[in-house]
Chain A
């Protein structure tokens, strides 16, 4: 493969192409081999995104272009005591169903998959490819073809998770997915996951990302919500201080389904989190909420796209951003209402705190409306802490730094408090508080 390429190739993709030739995906069935090859060709053709492209204008990929971070091959996860400590620190206190991936590969000894009720399939992607090929295959080719790193992911992903909830099944306790990493070799970890919520099913999912060292995590999760299903999903990103994290979520919503999606970005040098929702069925509801808290030289970019194809849909978005030090955050949100998608009700709010003169946050909410009977609104604000509130706290004896932290926490918590599941809400509140306690302004 590396020797002969019969498609146009962008120079920055070459090292990845060469690695692909050496990568071993021996166990892949033919359909997957074909898919990987097509995806690699697409990546080579697209190249790295340029900052002229709207979806990438806020991140600087220069370093990544200069120094390739080549995929770390699949293998058996080596579980060290440091990784166990990582998991104890960042995981839920009382996990019910847990799947852990270490450096992108399934770690059975850290996972807990034996309590799953009937009608629920949860396992590593590698197993699903062998055991549930039809489930995995469906939908692969309808995914957007304009995203270079999604294509790179498709070419290289080693593992991930698959959650399949059968029609009518309600999964009471949350499914917890923990991505850990101790890879410090400057490589990339490509994981790909799939959640299928059957008709009228109900599930809660929490995905946690943590690690130490320098690595690039390129993660893609596909969500398929069947008619009348409900999926509550919480994502916590606390990658290592040198890590690069690109997370991509592609969701499709059938009629009367409900997706409630929350993301909290706390750690990682550069974090990009993009959620793309296609509301295909009538009367679907989508809540996209989240927050980021950045300091030092961190950068983070949250992107959301909700495409209302069918009538009667509802979208609610609340995003909170906090940046201090020399950090840079950005929120880009787009809601599209297609012709004929009448009675769509959509609201988007982006509120941001910039706490130091060298920090910055960009916010860009967009509505694109092609139907005439809709209710859509958006708002965006960037500001500093409320001086009157700060004085009030200080006038009660609370030292300035502590008073500032209280106000920052209150600001970010307004988003975190939207998480409906108490255990997950508390967990994220405590992660937020912990991050704030060590925030250098």
Chain B
């Protein structure tokens, strides 16, 4: 589903953040990418999602057989790539419900399917909210405006559930959450696990992995993946810290 080969990326000021990432994610898998602050985790998420302000200087990214880097951010999303933001953006004046329906209909149009009407949409929304145990008041508010940190993350998971992506990238969705919110996020991710879908969780802590069991764990350090393994790697990191890996690398 996702093939990253020797990916190098730098900021517009010239600083190189990603220095040769190699990663392969198949359909049905859940991968965790862990690493200390400044290791390039969020840059990797941003480059995959197509955020402006980064320059890919080397390497390739293939997504569902296509050159991901050649696509605009919105096209990537319509092709089924979803990024759960570390810092979801507040958008005053744009109603959450209207925003979601616009996003879903953009995907429907892209796939040549009919747009969904308001009634149909509301039924789907209600079902998803119930699954995730989120209150309906969320719908009437402007996108993320006045949301607490936990509410913003819930909204990201809710959007993921609504958009049903092929590849979901969660950028530190677990950070700053209390245990209830964390469990809710984990439930959302587990509900999304499917044979035709891949999930990449970027996280600083092992905590989320207590609730979502990854198939593969990677350690990102200095802009490179320095170690990969199964879920036991996460436990080892938790016990011994990132310093150990650094020494090994």
Interface residues of A (CB under 8 A from B): 386-389, 391-400, 402-403, 406-407, 409-411, 413-414
The answer to whether A399 and B92 have CB atoms under 8 Å apart is no
Q: A406-B94, A406-B102 are in contact. Are A396 and B159 (CB under 8 A)?
A: yes
Nearest Cβ on chain B to A165's Cβ, whole angstroms: 34
Answer yes or no: B220 CB below 8 A from chain A CBs: no
Interfacial residues, chain B to chain A (CB-CB below 8 A)? 49-52, 72-74, 77-78, 83, 85, 88-94, 99-100, 102-103, 106-107, 110, 142-143, 159, 163
| A425 → chain B closest CB, angstroms | 14
Return A192 CB to nearest CB of chain B, in Å: 37
| Contact present for B91 and A389 (CB under 8 Å) | yes
Q: Would you give 6 A-B contacts (Cβ < 8 Å), ordered by A? A: A392-B85, A392-B88, A393-B91, A396-B103, A410-B93, A410-B142
User: Would you call A394 and B94 a contact (CB within 8 A)?
Assistant: no
Q: Are B83 and A402 in contact (CB under 8 A)?
A: no
Q: Which A residues touch B107, using CB under 8 A? A: 397
Are B77's CB and A407's CB within 8 A?
no
- Nearest-neighbor residue (CB-CB) of B78 within chain A: A397
Q: Could you tell me the distance in whole angstroms from the C-beta of A428 to the nearest C-beta in chain B?
A: 15
**A397 and B74 alpha carbons, distance in the complex (Å):** 4
Most buried by A among B74, B88, B102, B142: B74
The 6 A-B residue pairs with the shortest CB-CB distance, nearest first, are: A410-B93, A397-B77, A396-B103, A394-B74, A392-B89, A397-B78
A413 to B95, CA, bound (A): 12
Indicate whether A410 sits within 8 Å of B106 (C-beta atoms), given known contacts A391-B52, A395-B49.
no
Q: A394 contacts which chain B residues (CB < 8 A)?
A: 50, 72-74, 77
Which residues of B have CB within 8 Å of A399?
A: 74, 106
Interface centre among B85, B88, B89 (most CB of A within 10 A): B89
Residues of chain A lying within 8 A (CB to CB) of residue B163? 396-397
Please report the C-alpha to C-alpha distance between residue A320 and residue B70 in the assembled complex, in whole angstroms. Answer: 37
Chain B residues with Cβ below 8 Å from A410 are: 91-94, 142
Cα of A407 to Cα of B94 in the assembled complex, Å: 7
**Bound-state Cα–Cα, A391 to B76, Å:** 12
B143 CB contacts on chain A under 8 angstroms:
392
Q: A389-B90, A392-B88, A395-B85 are in contact. List 9 more A-B contacts (CB 8 A).
A: A386-B91, A391-B89, A392-B85, A395-B83, A396-B77, A397-B103, A397-B163, A398-B106, A406-B99
Residue of B nearest to A400 (CB): B74
CA distance A225 to B105 in the complex (A): 49
Known pairs A396-B99, A396-B103, A406-B102; A414 contacts B110 (CB<8 A): no
Complex CA gap A395/B143 in Å reads 14
The answer to whether A414 and B93 have CB atoms under 8 Å apart is yes
Q: How far is the CA of A388 from the CA of B110 in the complex (A)?
A: 24
**Known pairs A398-B103, A402-B106; A392 contacts B91 (CB<8 A):** yes
Query: How would you classify the secondary structure of chain A's contact residues: helix, strand, loop or mixed?
Result: helix
Contacts of B142 in A (CB 8 A): 410
Q: For A406, list chain B residues within 8 Å (CB).
A: 94, 99, 102
Complex contact B77–A389 (CB within 8 A): no
- Minimum Cβ distance to chain A for residue B157 (Å): 14
Contact of B73 among A388, A389, A391, A407 (CB under 8 A): A391
Give Cα distance in the complex from A117 to B107, angstroms. 53
Least CB separation from B46: chain A residue: A391
Q: Please tell me if the beta carbons of B78 and A389 are within 8 angstroms of each other in the complex.
A: no
How near does chain A come to B189, taking the closest CB pair, in angstroms?
18
Residue numbers in A under 8 Å from B110 (CB-CB): 397
Residues of A within 8 Å of B102, CB to CB, are 398, 402, 406
Of the candidates A387, A397, A403, the one having the most CB atoms from chain B within 10 angstroms of its own CB is A397
Cα distance A260–B77 when bound, in Å? 44
- Chain B residues positioned under 8 Å from A413 (CB to CB): 93
If A391-B51, A391-B52 touch, whether A398 touches B74 (CB-CB below 8 Å) is yes
Contacts of B88 in A (CB 8 A): 392
B74 contacts A403, C-beta separation under 8 Å:
yes
Chain B nearest CB from A5 CB (Å) reads: 55
A397 to B77, CA, bound (A): 5
Q: Are A393 and B93 in contact (CB under 8 A)?
A: no
Contacts of A409 in B (CB 8 A): 93
Give every chain A residue within 8 A of B51 (Cβ-Cβ).
391, 395
Min distance, Cβ B63 to any Cβ of chain A, angstroms: 14
Which residues on the B side are within 8 Å of A411 (C-beta)? Answer: 93
User: Which of chain A's residues have a CB closer than 8 A to the CB of B74?
Assistant: 394-395, 397-400, 403
Kindly state the separation between the CA atoms of A327 and B247 in the bound complex, as whole angstroms.
61
Q: Which residue of B102, B159, B163 has the most chain A CB atoms within 10 A of its CB atom?
A: B102
Interface centre among A393, A396, A411 (most CB of B within 10 A): A396
State A395–B156 Cα separation when bound (angstroms): 12
Please measure, in the bound complex, the distance between the C-alpha atom of A387 and the C-alpha atom of B103, giving whole angstroms. 18
Which of A389, A391, A413 gathers the greatest number of chain B CB atoms within 10 Å? A391
Which A residues are in CB contact (< 8 Å) with B103? Answer: 393, 396-398
Which residue of A is nearest B79, CB measured?
Answer: A397
Complex contacts, A402 vs chain B, CB 8 Å: 102, 106
Q: Which residues of A contact B99 (CB under 8 A)?
A: 393, 396, 406
Separation of A409 and B142 alpha carbons in the complex (Å): 13
- Look across to chain A and name the residue whose beta carbon is closest to the beta carbon of B98: A406
- Closest chain-B Cβ to A383's Cβ sits at a distance in Å of 14
CA of A395 to CA of B159, assembled, Å: 11
Q: Which of B78, B94, B110 has the most CB of A within 10 A?
A: B94
